[in-house]
Amino acid sequence: MPYLKKTNLHLYYEVHGEGTPIVFIHPPVMGSETFRYQKKLAERYQLIYIDLVDSGRSSKRTQETTVADQAKMVHALVTQLNLPPVIVCGYSNGGSTAQEFALAYPEQTKGIILIGGFSEVSTMLLGAEFELGIWAAQNKMLNLLSYGLPAAHFRSKHHQREMAHFIKQADGPTLKRIYEEGKQYVSTDRLKQITVPLMLIYGKRDIVSRPYMMKFYKEIRDLDVALVSGVAHQVPTKRPEQCNAIIDSWIKRKQLG
């Protein structure tokens, strides 16, 4: 299995297909299994999946837990693979890492896709979700996360079990710091620095993340938005065909492919 090896860290990754590279960035602890239904896009694009720290098959214990740390890990993989400028696609809090990558490494960024994305945590509902993750990690309730997160995202019991298997292996103190750092992350005051095309994808029923859309509207010059019917936050897994079609259409329309 391929790994990006850094000091004291081994980060698992996968590469599928050829063409314009899209780097998929998952939320805390969920791992690259989050994007299993996006693999069909490999028929047109090169897909890069990475398990960030304390997720999937990667190292569990580390002090490198900030959003900036994770953006550096993504950049290290992009560099190791000798990739041209990439499209970064972040889901939920993985979108914070995607934003930070684009802000820190503009020369390596061709476009940004945020699925259920936000530029800060400033509402009670979103803050409560982070607090639940912090509480579960702090109180060694990983079994709760290993049940709740897969059940919320997958109808397939087999796919639920596969994600749950990795979540149960997480390191609680590391995961707690990841959630805390994610809650504190703010990019709103720097959004004007983003000059590449940005695609926002939200579920129409997403009352937690969708209110943050206006923060991007106010600051981003090249912005597109797609709302997906019949789903709340879990667009990549609950509406994968629509999600994939939106990504493909946007890349073609923006001539990024």
- Give the whole-angstrom CA distance, residue 18 versus residue 180: 36
Using alpha carbons, list the distances in angstroms from residue 53 to 11, 24, 76, 104: 7, 14, 13, 19
Specify whether the CB–CB gap between 128 and 145 falls below 8 A.
Answer: no
Backbone angles phi, psi at 6, to 5 degrees: -115, 175
- Give the whole-angstrom CA distance, residue 109 versus residue 102: 6
- Give the whole-angstrom CA distance, residue 26 versus residue 24: 7
Q: Which residues pair with 21 in a beta bridge?
A: 46
Q: Kindly give, in sequence order, each residue whose CB lies less than 8 Å from that of residue 255, ignoring residues fewer than 6 positions away.
A: none
Backbone angles phi, psi at 226, to 5 degrees: -130, 130
The DSSP string of 99-159 is: HHHHHH-GGGEEEEEEES--SS--SHHHHHHHHHHHHHHHTT-HHHHHHHHHHHH-S-HHH
Specify whether the CB–CB gap between 97 and 72 falls below 8 A.
Answer: no
Structural domains of the chain in order of their starting residue, each with its CATH number: 3-120+187-253 (3.40.50.1820)
Mean pLDDT by 10 residues, the chain (257 residues): 86 97 98 97 98 96 96 97 98 98 98 98 97 95 94 96 96 97 98 98 97 97 97 98 98 95
Q: Kindly give, in sequence order, each residue whose CB lies less than 8 Å from that of residue 47, ignoring residues fewer than 6 positions away.
A: 14, 15, 16, 17, 21, 22, 24, 35, 38, 39, 41
Helix (H) or strand (E) holding 80: helix 67-80
- Render pLDDT for 37-71 as a digit per residue (tens, 0 to 9): 999 999 999 999 999 999 999 999 999 999 999 99
Whole-angstrom Cα Rg for the chain = 17
The per-residue pLDDT for 8 is 84
The per-residue pLDDT for 1 is 73
